[in-house]
Amino acid sequence: MNDLTAVLADIGIFVCVPWMLWRLLGRIIPIAVIPILIGIMAAVWHLPLQKIGIPSFYGDTIGWIAVLVLAFTAGMEMWQHPEGEPSANTLPKPGLLRLLGGAAIALGGPFLIGSLLVYFFFLPLPGWHAPSVTPFIAAASIGLCIAVSALPVLIGIVRELPVADKPIGQLALKLAVIDDATLWIGLAVLQIAAERQAAMHSWGVREAGAVILLILLAAGGSLASRHFRNPPRFLVWAVVPLYLSLGSWASMTLGLHELIGAYFAGAFMPPSWVRRLPFEAISTSALVWVAPLFFGHSGLHINGDALTWPSVLASLSLVAISIVVKMGSIYIFPPSQGLSRRQTLGLGALLQCKGLMEIVAATILHEQGMLSEFAFASLMVLAVISTLLTGPLFHWLKPKTTSPA
């Protein structure tokens, strides 16, 4: 099959079909989940998609560029305020220390408990030992995936919440922004720790140049925020691909994943410049029309033989651990004083959503040999189930509203 036919078949299976299903189901399932399910089912059923050239080379490339854009726009979101219009039901405004403390416990609790449970109970299982790292790093890699919250998916969920529920969603977004930044830092730390010290010890001019480049990108963004707040729009558009490509190249040169550099390049962009860009529309377009190629291929790349009943049971166990520990951590130390029990549980229900952030993290870790085939398959299932459960869990646990007389 020629390249054009292969990429058209790729787009049809992983973009067009998921979009039609998404619309037919009334958008109740996040768009990122459907192509993953298609890819997972194709892997489990051993469908001969390779005979028609799927995954195609150009489809892989297009999907990869889309995920770089998603990581870049997620970094842009870091300094924005996605909570929208003020609401009459606004929650007590959390202090900065309380918010950071709540975010640290909401992320640190699941990470520590999840890592310990994985180390003692999951890694000893057949097929769970990661091929390229020590058990400690493998457990920490899975623990990070258990702890993460899905910022892009949450933004979409919060936009569709009723007005009465918006304040809880707004607080969830503030915590998810912190989680998101911590995720990318954690991925970088794990990759450095995963026996990549040799690369760090053999630094040369390229590596030093990459560090200097990242510093210059951050300094340039800071200076522009203070002294050049309203440049011509064409200049803003010209800087976007420059930051994205340079940030990705710098992290790749340092032995880290390109997505890490893309995320921080977006975060380095001056906030006043970002507000002049339709970054939400760009992110949504990439998520709906291009990134499903990446998600579908991620599902397709799992070892279908690894998704056995034991691994499905392990996935369900990880789901239970993820939900209970995330919600328990938030319940023990709410990020804002004055929250009712139901408000706290509703907040936890939103933040247990894994979505595309866990998919991207697990894919990065799997490519680096830091997750086994069984662990990767289980984490993909975890991402799908936790995302599907977010809406029903939130509506079950959120504060009950009374109809006006």
Q: What is the pLDDT of residue 403?
A: 42
Label residue 20 by pLDDT band (50, 70, 90): very high
- Taking the C-alpha atoms of residue 390 and residue 395, their distance in angstroms, rounded to an integer, is 9
Give the pLDDT mean for 71-100: 67
pLDDT tens, residue by residue, 132-181: 888 999 999 999 999 988 776 777 677 667 778 878 887 888 888 788 78
Is a pLDDT exceeding 80 seen at residue 91?
no
Give helix then strand counts, H and E, for the chain: 19, 0
Name the percent of the chain lying above pLDDT 90. Answer: 36
Q: What is the pLDDT of residue 174?
A: 81
Give the pLDDT mean for 281-299: 87
Residue type, 138: A
- Taking the C-alpha atoms of residue 70 and residue 225, their distance in angstroms, rounded to an integer, is 23
pLDDT tens, residue by residue, 223-252: 998 889 889 989 999 999 999 999 999 988
15: burial class by Cβ within 10 Å (0-12, 13-18, 19+)? Answer: buried
Residue type, 286: A
Q: What is the pLDDT of residue 179?
A: 82
pLDDT tens, residue by residue, 60-83: 999 989 888 988 887 887 665 544
Cα 69 to the center of its chain, rounded Å? 13
Q: What is the pLDDT of residue 325?
A: 95
Give the pLDDT mean for 372-380: 90
Q: What is the pLDDT of residue 169?
A: 84
**Which of 36-50, 174-188, 388-402 ranks highest by mean pLDDT?**
36-50
What angle, 0 to 180 degrees and rounded to 10, lies between the N-to-C axes of helices 233-253 and 205-227? 150
- The SS3 of residue 147 is helix
| Continuous segment of H or E residues that includes residue 74 | helix 57-77
| Cα–Cα separations (whole angstroms), residue 79 to 76, 176, 178, 223, 299 | 6, 12, 10, 16, 32
- pTM of the entire predicted model: 0.81
- Taking the C-alpha atoms of residue 220 and residue 229, their distance in angstroms, rounded to an integer, is 12
- Taking the C-alpha atoms of residue 170 and residue 389, their distance in angstroms, rounded to an integer, is 19
Residue type, 37: L
- Nearest Cα neighbor of 129 from 388, 393, 370 is 370
Question: Phi and psi (nearest 5°) for 192?
Answer: -70, -40
Q: What is the pLDDT of residue 404?
A: 43
> Cβ atoms within 10 A of the Cβ of 199, count?
15
Is a pLDDT exceeding 50 seen at residue 257?
yes
Is a pLDDT exceeding 70 seen at residue 129?
yes
Of 45-49, 199-203, 360-364, least confident by mean pLDDT is 199-203
Beta-carbon contacts of residue 346 (< 8 Å; ≥ 6 apart): 165, 168, 394, 397, 398, 399
Q: What is the pLDDT of residue 197?
A: 45
- Taking the C-alpha atoms of residue 97 and residue 28, their distance in angstroms, rounded to an integer, is 36
